[in-house]
Amino acid sequence: MSVLYLVRHGQAGTRENYDALSPLGRRQAQLLGQYFREQQIEFERVYSGGLRRQQDTAREAFPGADLLVDEGWNEFDLAQVFAEYAPRLAALDDDFRRDYQAMQAALAESGGAHEHPVHRRWNECDKKVIQAWIAGRFDYSGESWPAFVARIHAALERVRRQAGNAIVFTSATPIGVSAAWTLGLADGRAMQIAGVLHNASFTSFRVRSNELRLFSLNNVPHLSHASLRTFR
């Protein structure tokens, strides 16, 4: 029996530069690597998605590791979803338009400061955009929700077929989709799992033959102080 660990990347950058780690995100990743070494948990393979924040988390946790990059573990492109969905939602939903305008004003006011609340919480307009994308409410030129889920399932299967313990540095939604799949949930409820995952948390699966079983979710024993535990 092997064990597969899926790690959410450390705290990322600002909304304008999200595909990077904040200073806190780097510290979270370093503490994760320290925890695994102290627990003498070793991995035959270390994977990462292709995004910078995913790879940087892996390298902060395991400096010098032979990192195997698989872009199948990339997060969906929230910036593109916003670019195509937000104008159409704003035209149809007054509440969304007000929330979206308020978020844009807060972004301008933040001056790119990492700790400004606009960069560190999900707003109602974030939730509405993602829900509309999952539902396929509008024509969209990017990756659809079903295509995204299929991509994650394929990436999960590639890792599962390999013997030995493995760790994958990825993002919240791929972990949510993977956990949901083991529970027989094939719809947007995967986002409810993704929404509770801490930065730099790990979720584990036991792999036996053709069976993949969720064993633990959203573990953060390495983030012992509340100031180290973040969601965004």
Same domain, 218 and 206: yes
**Cα–chain center distance at 104:** 23
Same domain, 95 and 189: no
Q: What is the pTM of this model?
A: 0.94
Q: How confident is the model at residue 229 (pLDDT cuts 50, 70, 90)?
A: very high
One-letter amino acid of 167:
I
Of 46, 51, 45, nearest in space to 74 by CA: 51
The β-bridge partners of 69 are 48
Same domain, 52 and 34: yes
Q: Where are the beta strands (DSSP E) in the chain?
A: 2-8, 45-48, 67-69, 166-170, 202-208, 211-219
* Domain encompassing residue 121: 78-135
Same domain, 93 and 70: no
pLDDT tens readout for residues 139-150: 999 999 999 999
Same domain, 127 and 162: no
For residue 158, the model assigns a pLDDT of: 95
pLDDT tens readout for residues 158-180: 999 887 999 999 999 999 999 99
pLDDT tens readout for residues 2-19: 999 999 999 999 888 899
Residue 188 sits in a domain of what CATH number? 3.40.50.1240
How far is it, in rounded angstroms, from Cα 12 to Cα 128? 22
Same domain, 172 and 223: yes
Q: Write the CA distances from 62 to 45, 92, 169, 197, 216, integer angstroms.
A: 11, 47, 11, 21, 22
- Give the count of domains, the chain: 2
pLDDT tens readout for residues 102-156: 999 998 898 888 888 888 888 899 999 999 999 999 999 999 999 999 999 999 9
Task: Report the pLDDT averaged over residues 47-53.
Answer: 98
Same domain, 159 and 115: no
